[in-house]
Amino acid sequence: MSTINSQDGQTLSSWWDGVEIPRFRPLDGDRSCDVCVIGAGIAGLSVAYHLCNAGTKVIVVDDSQVGDGQSGRTSAHLSSEWDDRYLEAERALGAQAACQIYDSHSKAIDTIESIAKKEKIDCDFARVDGWLFLGPDDKDQLLLDELAAAMRAGFFDAEHRDSLKIGEHNFGPALRFPRQAIFHPLKYLAGLTRCITSRGGEIFCGDRVNDVQGFDPKNNEPAKATTQRGPVVSAARGIAVCTNTPAPINDWMGIYTKQAAYRTYVIAVRIDKGVVPAGLYWDTLDPYHYVRTQPLPAKGDGELLLIGGEDHKTGQHPPTAAPFASLETWGRQRFPAMKEVLYRWSGQVQEPADSVAYIGRAPHAKQGIYVATGDSGMGLTHGTIAGLLISDLIQGKTNPWESLYDPSRKPLGATTEFAKENLNVVEQYTKYFTGGEVSSVDEIRPGTGALIRRGLTKLAVYRDDGGVVHEISPKCTHLGCIVSWNDVEKTWDCPCHGARYDPLGHVIMGPAVSDLSAAGGEV
């Protein structure tokens, strides 16, 4: 097992085992460059890679280390079959948008394959088939309708199969999508990192950017990214914010009102090699299950079967849910050759109201600021798309996907979902008037946290492994929602817009940029 500690939470994915990721120091003072990229995941490093190849002076800044965010917590599906279905894309966005979705995600897979080959990045890239099969109560017509929509979008070689059989289990009718892919995301990021630094790019890790300002044409001032510690990066040609949720600029962009944060869960189970054919597998449930294999990181026979799903809104963990146990039960019913579970982890995805990512120029006249967010469960292809699209925009090139991913667009085709998500946010503020989850700190076990009410004051209380009690304000510093304890990752999560904090209240994920306050204020 890996000994790396992740800032993002308690669990570690199987991707970390046996992989050496270059590590970088924080900023040592103010810096200047052509372009500053905030975020060292697949989106940020893809942007930096393309710009460095074009001779641009790039500085990448991350509050943790390379890959320590959601790029290291993925199941690493590379798919051009859209998670939210092409039939839905046609309905909500139109036929042209569906074609652009297919084109952009297909190009993203091609780009990863091309970069890995050109740069000699050994990241286990392989082309595989993708398979969409039915949930228990869905009918084959659902697959036939999706097949027709996928073909209209450009997926001409997709096909319907009467059955998908793996081992002794028959999953029933399924759609086959050729030319999908799998790879090792952290090996790929390590390769991108070496390419960037070898071409003059600089990477600094351990600095949180808490303010971003665009160009000031009147005073001929560059764009600026200010860190929490103080150092400032000045960027003559712009700043790309690629941080899952664009925290430093999120409020004035209003993106938090157009997307919702969800937690998703993955288990990795040992199986004998070849028992499950290499491929990508999804069902039509909502939330859906997703499955693939991975070479076993450690020495030994066999490989890993990755099973993911059990999604729920961040900070709103269902009281009776047991996501890892549920995934294991679901898997053993369908893959009886499963052996022991070796890894368990969770990640966070941003779901836009219309399911299309926000990639491009930031709105509201903030010149020189670009953003990539709204991965919608397809963060690796969306991050790669961001590399192509944002680097084009910075270089003054036209890009055919600019309007599709425009961050300033309104989710006109998804007004029902948009209204439902924002009503859910409003409901979370009722927690101001509820009692505590426990009546006394004595009920809180070591290594856990809970909300308590003490008179007029509500507190977020964490008891560390040594038994010491830490009390902080539960009021999220983004828009004041009451946080909830996440016992899987040992974090405080905001149920409104997905901000996350470590057990002592230090912010680890936006849209918040400030730590939780000390205890004492009325809530």
Burial 452-479 (b: 16+ CB within 10 A, else e): beeeeebbbbbbeeeeeeebbbbbbbbb
Q: Are 245 and 261 within 8 A, CB to CB? A: yes
Strand pairing report for 279-283 and 259-271? unpaired
Q: Are 35 and 53 within 8 A, CB to CB? A: no
Residue with the larger pLDDT of the pair 363 and 1: 363
The answer on pLDDT for 270 being more than 90 is yes
The answer on pLDDT for 299 being more than 80 is no
Mean pLDDT computed over every residue of the chain: 91
> What is the residue extent of each domain of the chain?
14-73+186-258+355-419, 127-181+262-351, 434-509
- 212: enclosing H helix or E strand: strand 209-213
What is the fold of 127-181+262-351? Answer: D-Amino Acid Oxidase; Chain A, domain 2 (3.30.9)
Q: In the prediction, which pLDDT does 257 show? A: 80
- Provide DSSP, 382-436: HHHHHHHHHHHHHTT---TTTTTT-TT---GGGHHHHHHHHHHHHHHGGGGGS--
Tell me: the pLDDT tens digits for 49-94? 999 999 999 999 999 999 999 999 999 999 999 989 999 999 999 9
Nearest alpha-carbon partner for 374 in 402, 413, 406: 406
Tokens of 356: 């299309």
Tokens of 252: 């004035």
Q: In the prediction, which pLDDT does 255 show? A: 77
Q: In the prediction, which pLDDT does 3 show? A: 45
In the Cβ-directed half-sphere of 432, how many Cα atoms lie within 13 Å? 11
For domain 14-73+186-258+355-419, say whether CATH 1.10.10.10 is its number.
Answer: no
Distance from the first to the final alpha carbon of the chain: 42
Residue with the larger pLDDT of the pair 346 and 425: 346
Q: What is the CATH number of domain 434-509?
A: 2.102.10.10
Q: How far, rounded to the nearest angstrom, does the alpha carbon of residue 448 sit from its chain's CA centroid?
A: 25
Residue with the larger pLDDT of the pair 363 and 523: 363
Q: In the prediction, which pLDDT does 249 show? A: 61
Same fold, 127-181+262-351 and 434-509: no
Q: Is the pTM of this model over 0.75?
A: yes
